Structure formats: C-alpha cells, structure tokens
Amino acid sequence: MKKSLSKLCLVMMTSAWLVWISTAAVQAQEKSKDQRPSQPTAVGDKELRSFAKSYIEFHKIRMEYEPALNKASDPQERSKLEQDAVAKFGKAVEKQGLTLEGYFRIFQTVNTNDTVREKALKLIEEERKKA
C-alpha cells in the first residue's frame, strides 16, 4: 500500500510540469478552433503501455531541461528551451504511437480512475526496470 502511495505521489508531483508542457505543446502546435473538451475515456492496454513508455521518456526529458529552465532569466531563452523540450517530448510520444493530446487524455484518465491508475503504475514500474 505504501509503495502504491509513493508511486501515486510521484505521478501527482509531475502534474505541475505536465501542465506546463501541455500548455507549451498547445501553444507550439497550430490547433483548429473547434476543439472539443477532453474527457476521460476508456484506455486500452496497448495505449496504457505506450503511455507508460512515454511517461518514462517524459521524466528523462524533464531531468534534462528542468535545470536550464530554472536558471533561464531571459524570456526568449526560456521560450526556446520550452519549445525544444516540447518538441523532444512530442517525438518521444509519437514514437510510442500516441499524440500529445492522446497522452494528456490518458494522463487525465490515470488521475481520475483508480483501476487505470493501478495498471499504469504497474506498467511504469515495469518500464523503469527495463530502462
């Protein structure tokens, strides 16, 4: 139980960074004006495994870019770093067969559905062991 709670805390701690990267991703991409609000939906096992792999990559990218972002005082430099991080994360997500929007939809579902969260945490732990 404690192990699951610590994993859940890890997932929740990244929420702020995910909000930042999702905002930057939306700004970085040209979007159509008729976007529908995202709602949690069912997530298949294949999608969840892709999410777990992308989640691990997200943390690697975060560890790479976060120190520079924290030190960046120039808004242009910070914007460039954000764009680079989002682009790198976008490629990592696409490599797993997801879109950024799909990743964040799954992330939202993981945070609101206990059953999906347990499956995701298990897959994330398996992927960490492989890395």
Asked if the structure places residue 33 within a domain, the reply is no
pTM of the model: 0.70
Instruction: Decide if 54 is inside a domain.
Output: yes
Count of the separate structural domains present in the chain: 1
Is residue 58 in a domain?
yes
Establish if 119 belongs to a structural domain. yes
Closest CA to 103 of 54, 32, 35: 54
Query: What is the residue range of 100's domain?
Result: 2-28+44-130
Question: What's the count of helices (H) and strands (E) in the chain, helices before strands?
Answer: 6, 0
Q: What is the pLDDT along the chain (131 residues), one digit of tens a residue?
A: 555 544 444 444 444 455 455 555 554 444 433 444 445 468 999 999 999 999 999 999 999 999 999 999 999 999 999 999 999 999 999 999 999 999 999 999 999 999 999 999 999 999 999 87
Whether 58 and 24 have beta carbons less than 8 Å apart is answered as no
The answer to whether residue 117 sits within a structural domain is: yes
Under DSSP, the state recorded for 31 is -
